[in-house]
Copies of this chain bind each other. A is one copy, B any other.
Amino acid sequence: MAEITTLAEAVAGLVGDGDLVALEGFTHLIPFAAAHEILRQGRRRLTLARMTPDVIYDQMIGMGAAERLIFSWGGNPGVGSLHRLRDAVERGWPVPLALEEHSHAGMANRYVAGASGLPMAVLRGYRGTDLGRVTPTVATVTCPFTGEELTAVPALNPDLTVVHAQQADRQGNVQLWGITGVQREAVLAATRSLVTVEEVVDRLEPRSGSVVLPGWVVTVVAVVPGGAHPSYASGYSTRDNAFYRDWDAISRQRERFTSWMREHVLG
């Protein structure tokens, strides 16, 4: 049964310097509040995993919390570049950032393997590309039935996966709905998990298209209404598209970024 506690206590108990942490959520339900708490607690040298780094990792990378990024698409969706990610890769500011990059299909299947307790997943991918040349975690296996050469990627098993969900009940059972992305797999692949939720309810009402995570596979639940902003929680909020657009200007220069983070996140 998951423990229900505050975000500060949850992060203090679950995140250590140097951990491999995945904060997942495919555009929807991105756990921004948990990322901000990790920054406030000053965690360093993290390996951050996430299919789409998005603004959430732009903030963490810009604050120097990460030394490595495992990802598949690092842009500001519909807007453009992630300037802090670019600055870290192109100029090593504020600290150098090592990259391990995959395709979306590869990342998704790495979480699937992790959730399945397998050391690897098999897919038909990366064909003819340079990704296999620069990413050591891409290999091949031969199908024993057809002789076809297939792509293999290793399981991704984070020390901690953080996701945001709409609801938990008092036993720590969690329900999320709408676009649920790769969150089920990311939680099940992790050694520990933290779920921030919009609210705790007496009973999880069955919902169309929902994913239910039993409390016994969740380590800690923390109640953080609005914890996905500027992403959103279907049924509770809408995506703050203006913020995503504004982020382009906020993040473009180091100084403005840093003062914005001091004022809005660290403060």
Contact = CB atoms under 8 A, between A and B. Distances in A.
Contacts of A145: 119-120, 137, 139, 152, 154
B118 A144 contact: no
A217 interface: no
A42 interface: no
Q: In the complex this chain forms, how many copies of it are found? A: 2
A143 B152 contact: yes
B123 A146 contact: no
A122 B124 contact: no
A146 to B, nearest CB: 4
Nearest to A113: B122
A165 to B, nearest CB: 16
A143 B119 contact: yes
Interface string A109-122: 00000001111111
A44 to B, nearest CB: 28
A128 interface: no
Contacts of A150: 118-120
Given A117-B124, A119-B148, A143-B152, 18 more contacts: A116-B123, A118-B123, A118-B124, A118-B150, A119-B143, A119-B145, A119-B146, A119-B150, A120-B144, A122-B122, A139-B145, A141-B142, A141-B143, A145-B154, A206-B208, A206-B209, A208-B208, A209-B210
17 contacts: A118-B123, A118-B124, A118-B150, A119-B143, A119-B146, A119-B148, A120-B122, A121-B122, A122-B122, A139-B144, A139-B145, A141-B144, A144-B152, A145-B152, A146-B154, A206-B208, A208-B208
